[in-house]
Structure 1
């Protein structure tokens, strides 16, 4: 008896897993996918996790694929956004996880159909070409649609965001977030096809594609100038349920700013940046708050850009960012265009109140949707303003660049999420926004993580989270327009269209093939 008989070893990956095994594998895949996001942000696990999910989907019907996708999505979302339970309890977390897992489930069902309809193909062009591309398009299309609907969607846990500090991050400057997600999904899907049916040429293609994505440089950007920013982190108790005296958050950020008074760099500051809700009292309605902010602006001879809640009339409230120029007051203002549903406003209040009245009543006021441009003049610099989850909205980033923004000020309040990973996940999104837009992003938080991110995604400066502090830095300004910004929503439309066209094409081809087979049997 010899150790090698000459027969080709059986590839067990070609065998369809029992459903219960597929559910376990998909759950593990979802958990691995979660670990690719902060923290611990092990970016290769995005490829491995997705590959396991795709392997679990092979040989399934649509409904079995949907079930596998639900398990994968539940594991991913349930672990990734567990920070939502910190103050609000399990109900909002469960509801959002269920919705997002359903999206993953639907894409799982669609991907299962792709595998089913091509299971008997003998064409390497279909097996190693069309299938990975269509599977990648379906995954990226699902992310795009889930980021848009319902109620404006929830743009989190996109594959691209897991690559914020990976060698693939620079790709986002060329093809945007949707394009990078598509690329990661195609690489993973092609790897699965090769594992199931090893072929030399597809291996070369996979290697060349992966290497090309790694070697693609960030789109070159030109520096049009610099501006010196003083960024303050007050480490404030600014959460929804934090007990505090009115004006305490404002006082915290004043103190953090004044701590820079003896810094030699503070003698020529161009702007002072405070986070979302950096002033918990509206200086447009409070003379005391106005006097305090003006004193800080006057001391440093620089405008203060701060978040605050404005109440221009009656029951109309905005989550706003204002530019306070010393001796002049408010010279520019941005009102958040897309308040967060179920946090900053309650959609269908009567319906949801009938289900969970205590939770709905926590959202005591509904913020209005702003209409002002998200680019403001700050001491001669055109600054794009992003308030909290605005940074996840690629359309708003494109709007900033189109409006002439030379820098992005991302003001956020992460106090509601304690010391969880939420702020790190948001920082990763801000990092990709910097690369995608070729703009320096000043990510300023009430509690952390406050950081200045260069246009290439590297960190210029960063504060220790959950401690008061300040940064002073000369940051680059840019007027570069990247291919991702030029393409706009075209990439998103493209992946949605490609996924639909692929499904329809494969479905029609499968139907024709079955019809032909039936005719042959009937003869």
Structure 2
């Protein structure tokens, strides 16, 4: 049985094995969110790539990637249909397929560089995991700002390894999970693994047992977070002021209660109070009765040609005292890159994006009620660099404002909340994840849920949230960790390529020599 497992599977077995691996990995994310499935899912994908020629590695990688991405982001189909879903899944699939091609080459040729089984176990999982981190890192920022969704670490908010993100960063946590999965595959293939099995077991136990990085709590701030249950979707037929009214009404339960700051979600006010006196008067009246500033999302329009997805800080009796404009608008949703080109392909979809939001230049940290707070709008919460900027600029609380109305009862908001929880643990900060329609949660620095509002209900949360200025290792060294692990994979792959070409060149020059290599049939 063990000998059978050590041989490459026939292609007719490897293809469905890779597909099952992709589906299994997808199931590690909400929903169902079975975090532990990330390890067997990745292991099945890696296993299916053993002994492959480049074209079969591409086929298997493509199938495994599609079966991962298509179910993960099927929430795109709710209002936008098949084309955006297939397009985004297709782009992300190309990145993952490239990783599969490189990983397959390493699996098939690493013995040329590391001939001893112990050396193969020591280096092959490191290289493959490093290449995975490089793939996640590049896809998160390019093209058009990337799509930092579906990273393996983001499946681990509920898992036994999730808390290690405060030490390792998001990239490091992804590396850990992929390393464990790949190590198990490599060990199964080694003829004399024996005590080496203890190493991934020991690493797993150590990672599960190590406590989160210690956080110093400076005090608490009483935060009110309002979910208006507003019909704020792209295709909603709301009348002007309806979304504002929904959040004004949902905020009434906070009036008369001690509160330091009240936060509404992205697009919580559909009428820009900088340009409309009635909107400004309604906001100021509520802020005066709350005796607290209100932080709310709105679309600002400072010039005839400029629009920003903004978060405004309104002081009672004063007006706007702070503003954050979304730094990275979402391509194909908040702005249309290469509009003429894509219009020639799918004009009906491009025409849905009626305006192009500008790229904000303001700091994402604002002093609110005497406390520096980080502001995040929608997918900002997935952006590592914005988290690093918040930590560097002293944010003690993160207000993550979002509008999930376009995604209905799909898994999108559940996945986003899981990302917010991981970010809270990574930063060592309270994250107030507040949505127009939910799921809204106030998350403590250790990832625990302090309060929540279910989806499609109006209401308000009022919580004394912990404040912290502690810089976790993830915030100090996160980018260095990501680059270092990526280079580990790239350099390791390069060394395998060089050694493989050297070996093949020598074999062509001296055909009578036999190469010391395992009996691996490639298909």
Range class of TM-score, shorter chain: over 0.9
Quote the residue 1:437 is aligned against.
427
Cα distance, 1:181–1:10 mapped onto 2, change above 3 Å: closer
Cα distance, 1:193–1:488 mapped onto 2, change above 3 Å: closer
Quote the residue 2:173 is aligned against.
180
Match of 1:141 among 134, 138, 143: 134
Q: In the TM superposition, what whole-angstrom CA distance separates every residue of 1:484-504 from its partner, at most 9, and x where no partner exists?
A: 111141112112211110111
1:93 and 2:98 are equivalent in the alignment = no
Match of 1:109 among 101, 125, 130: 101
**TM-score scaled by structure 2?**
0.96
**Superposition map of 1:325-404 within 5 A:** 325-404=315-394
Q: In the TM superposition, what whole-angstrom CA distance separates every residue of 1:182-238 from its partner, at most 9, and x where no partner exists?
A: 111000000111222362221011111111111121110101121001110011100
Quote the residue 1:74 is aligned against.
66
Pairwise CA distance, 1:16: 1.4
Quote the residue 1:280 is aligned against.
270
**Superposition map of 1:233-248 within 5 A:** 233-248=227-242
Matches of 2:506 and 2:116, distance apart in 1 = 18
Q: In the TM superposition, what whole-angstrom CA distance separates every residue of 1:459-499 from its partner, at most 9, and x where no partner exists?
A: 11111111111100000110000111111411121122111
Q: Is the 8 A contact 1:232 1:256 kept in 2?
A: yes
**TM-score scaled by structure 1?**
0.96
Q: In the TM superposition, what whole-angstrom CA distance separates every residue of 1:12-68 from its partner, at most 9, and x where no partner exists?
A: 112211223211111111011011001110011100100000000000123321221
Pairwise CA distance, 1:455: 0.5
Pairwise CA distance, 1:515: 3.6
Quote the residue 1:481 is aligned against.
471
Aligned residues between the structures: 511
**Higher RCO (Cα < 8 Å, 6 or more apart):** 2
Root mean square deviation of aligned Cα = 1.3
1:512 and 2:505 are equivalent in the alignment = no
Return 313-322 or 12-21, whichever deviates more: 12-21
Pairwise CA distance, 1:122: 4.0
Quote the residue 2:398 is aligned against.
408
Q: Is the 8 A contact 2:171 2:478 kept in 1?
A: no
Return 252-261 or 341-350, whichever deviates more: 252-261
Matches of 2:54 and 2:171, distance apart in 1 = 24
Pairwise CA distance, 1:522: 4.4
Q: Is the 8 A contact 2:378 2:403 kept in 1?
A: yes
Pairwise CA distance, 1:517: 4.1
What SS does the aligned partner of 1:305 have? strand
Q: Is the 8 A contact 1:66 1:107 kept in 2?
A: no
Structure 2 unaligned blocks of 5 or more: 514-523
Matches of 1:202 and 1:189, distance apart in 2 = 13
Q: Is the 8 A contact 2:293 2:315 kept in 1?
A: yes
Q: In the TM superposition, what whole-angstrom CA distance separates every residue of 1:108-149 from its partner, at most 9, and x where no partner exists?
A: 000000011125654123321100110111111111111011
**Superposition map of 1:113-262 within 5 A:** 113-119=105-111, 122-197=115-190, 199-261=193-255
Quote the residue 2:450 is aligned against.
460
Matches of 2:96 and 2:467, distance apart in 1 = 39
What SS does the aligned partner of 2:356 have? coil
